A and B are shown apart, each in its own frame.
Chain A
């Protein structure tokens, strides 16, 4: 997915939120929606996750398909080292600029 040219790494508020939620544990898309207290929506979370995966902030793995019911395998998301570094860099920068962020 990544292109051959170096890119400017950007981080939207939603992406920041996803990284914050994935710091502690790996989560499914709908689990992210559930723990975000309404800040992430069911209809948009997968678009955000897809974009973040493309940027290399998160990675995902497919679980085994549920047996017997014919359903699809679930995809679980985890923050990559790059994603963790982005989150740390943003929060430390933000703490310096806006002290209230650190409290």
Chain B
């Protein structure tokens, strides 16, 4: 490693004369290195860093200061000295025109921030890169089903065949996901994702454990001891970074494993894993039709490419299809980049959407900076005399445009700093939202919630674009016909005019100002509806929700009746124990809990035995859930009519259901549904003759609507509840109603589960309202984004109006003076100056409100009308200053211009 200060010295060698190095730079850097070495010897890491930062900064200042002195002495490079003057002038203007600074900064920051977030989204989700050594050469192999153009994972038999035959992909490896309880010592069991993975993986990823050894081929042999490789995070949190962790025991499910290695920090391959066990599957144990599905991957051989590897796989695929037409007739292997083999959903359509999102954000930069350019132009117009004097003193057009560009660049740089800070926060929130919705709690290891350096470079590019638009456009406009204006100009009446483009821009801007709040109001309404729905007929903050599952035996065919029986008895025992705990009001079980997404199916009703004439009206989609007998009691939901479920409903052939009010309304038109019958009529379950084999279910009770997300369609609000038959469903959801705070009960729930059955998995433990909050959080984020957009647009519009009116007033000072001298009244002056701008504002508002009315749904007319009044009032407010200034014009002052 190079000693600290080496780069600083190289910089100094470029900037300073050689004679300076000996007495100025070298002693400084030598002292810093000595201090750094001293701190290193004493093991003071923080002090080393501090010395490095502090001294680099101090010496950099010294080099720059000395370099400037030398440059001054040698007269220096003239354009650079001019640039320094321009920057200082721009900084002074920032302070002088604080209004423009604030508005310009906020607007540009918003646009650049949008650009940063869109670009980060694009690079991370559309063009992700594996953060591994040579990650671009790691590939996956998927199976394409040509019959239905779908992709499916290869099987164990495919993997074994390819491993022995493929040469263009080295170290072919495979894994499959397992979900097991991990138990360390006496700690409560916790379900974790475990990768059953080939030993070859560690050659593919080129990563070595920081402790112990990786998995090796011998671990995959039948009868070898069960071993596990753990992640750095697990080593830190569960083993307190014990250097002697190798050899200790971890129970995964019901099997004890010996730790053989600890992987480095941040290593989560293949997806988001921290436990790796050997893939010990022998194809001999599985018939080809029941071969387990695997994810297959490897590293391209040296010199091989994706395109070169594909023909080899195609030939192998054709051979397998010929040998096993029953299973492989329509299957073709395909080599793809590793990430694409895991997530195919983020491509094609999504890529197009993200591209358009990116393009929109760039357009936003153009639009917003066009507005800022308008303000800059208005400011430049007030400085026309200064510009003319500069021109008279010999400044060329390029020099003046350059000055305006630097002014815009300084403003854009300030905005960029604000944008980068806010983009970090926005991206963090957006990342959390997207990953929660798409990946749950398993975020792929190649994604990260911080803005990447490449995106920061892009932000720099956007800043330059923003400065170019906001600086060059006014610069070109204001310097047009400079010579002519120099000859003709006088105070109060220069030659600058707003052109047609600016007029259109102002009208559009005002229109957008009127449109933007519509989605804000609509989203606010959605957020409010979410809150209302969460509270309708239920107090979700009082309940704890959890998902219950169980480790499956690690033997082929172990997922049969025995497993279901063990799961049922363990669940019932857990429920019984929890009910006897002090501080528990009730415990109940269902296949899906209120506020969660319910599965929906198509039903038909028995219309008194009459033939169903109109199938479309009698077939409806409704949502359904299977619930324990005490479900409504525990959730404090009364039966409105009919009866609740009892043990008789669990008898084979009983087939009773309870429906909610929406069901009674939508399906039975508000008539009493008690005693009526319904059955499922999904097309997939119809036989060839079109008749339906599903049995009829009789409605025995009606409950109120509760725990139904508001965005769901009316038909989906209709819900059918079935009695939960023991052993009939897996996994299950448990609802606990404790007397205290629900989340405090989570640890007791886990420990009770461990006591009942160590392999019982308790996951997704959350309050009811948190279960439903993901959608609400998305809405809230969208609401804030649109609100920010609305504020920026409104700010820009108001300042735009202000700038236009001020400009109009200042351009016609002399004319106003003459009119006032000739007896023109106030009203006449106002009409004269502001008729055109006010018409533009009026037109903009009208267009905006009409579009908003078309875009909005339901009873938004009053809101839009009210908002229209606000827009008009605020716009008039922006005219006050210029109107006052125009009315104060004295004829003598104006005529003195002659």
A residues with CB within 8 A of B? 28-30, 41-44, 46-47, 49-50, 53, 60, 66, 69-75
A73–B30 CB distance below 8 A = yes
**Cβ of B343 under 8 Å from chain A:** no
Chain A hits for B728, CB < 8 A:
none
Q: Is B58 an interface residue (CB 8 A)?
A: yes
**Alpha-carbon distance A44/B58, docked complex (angstroms):** 8
B58 and A41: CB pair below 8 A?
A: yes
Question: What residues of chain B lie closer than 8 Å to A60, measured between beta carbons?
Answer: 23, 27
The reply to whether B33 and A66 form a contact with Cβ atoms under 8 Å apart is yes
Cα distance A75–B35 when bound, in Å? Answer: 13
Distance in angstroms from A89 CB to nearest chain B CB is 25
Name B51's closest neighbour in chain A (CB-CB).
A30
B65 at the interface (CB under 8 A from A): yes
Q: List 19 A-B contacts (CB under 8 A).
A: A29-B28, A29-B31, A30-B31, A30-B34, A42-B28, A42-B58, A43-B59, A43-B61, A44-B62, A46-B27, A46-B28, A49-B23, A53-B23, A66-B33, A69-B3, A69-B33, A69-B37, A70-B3, A74-B30
Q: Evaluate contact between A72 and B54: CB separation under 8 angstroms.
A: no
C-alpha gap A86/B27 in the complex (Å): 25
A82 to B3, CA, bound (A): 37
Contacts of B2 in A (CB 8 A): 70
Q: Are B24 and A47 in contact, CB atoms less than 8 angstroms apart? A: yes
Interface of B is mostly: helix
Q: Contacts A30-B35, A46-B62; is A75 near B30 (CB within 8 Å)?
A: yes
Is B279 part of the contact surface with A, judged by Cβ < 8 Å? no
Which listed residue (A30, A46, A71) contacts B37, Cβ 8 A?
A: A71
* Shortest distance from the beta carbon of B64 to any chain A beta carbon, whole Å: 10
Is there a chain A Cβ closer than 8 Å to B29's Cβ? yes
* B23 partner, pick from A50, A66, A72, A73, beta carbons under 8 A: A50
Q: How far is the CB of A68 from chain B (nearest CB, A)?
A: 10
Which of these, B31, B54, B66, contacts A74 with CB under 8 Å? Answer: B31
Q: Do residues A29 and B62 form an inter-chain contact, with CB atoms below 8 A? A: no
Which residues of B approach A to under 8 Å, CB–CB? 2-3, 5, 9, 20, 23-35, 37, 54-55, 58-59, 61-62, 65-66
Residues of A within 8 A of B37 (CB): 66, 69, 71
Contact of A71 among B20, B30, B54, B59 (CB under 8 A): B30
Decide: B27 and A29 in contact? CB cutoff 8 A: yes
With A and B bound together, what is the CA distance between A44 and B26 in angstroms? Answer: 14
Are B62 and A43 closer than 8 Å at their CB atoms? Answer: yes
Give the CA-CA distance A68 to B473 in the complex, in Å.
58
Q: What chain A residues lie within 8 Å of B59 (beta carbons)?
A: 42-43
Give CA–CA (A47, B69) in the complex, Å: 12
In angstroms, Cα B33 to Cα A29, docked, is: 12
Residue of A nearest to B57 (CB): A43
Q: A69-B3, A70-B2, A70-B3 are in contact. Are A46 and B24 (CB under 8 A)?
A: yes
Contacts A43-B65, A50-B23 given: A71-B58 contact, CB under 8 Å? no
Q: Is the CB of B58 within 8 A of A43?
A: yes
Residues of B within 8 A of A44 (CB): 62
B58 touches A72 (CB 8 A): no
Contacts of A75 in B (CB 8 A): 23, 26-27, 30
B54 contact set on A, CB distance < 8 A: 42
Contacts of A70 in B (CB 8 A): 2-3
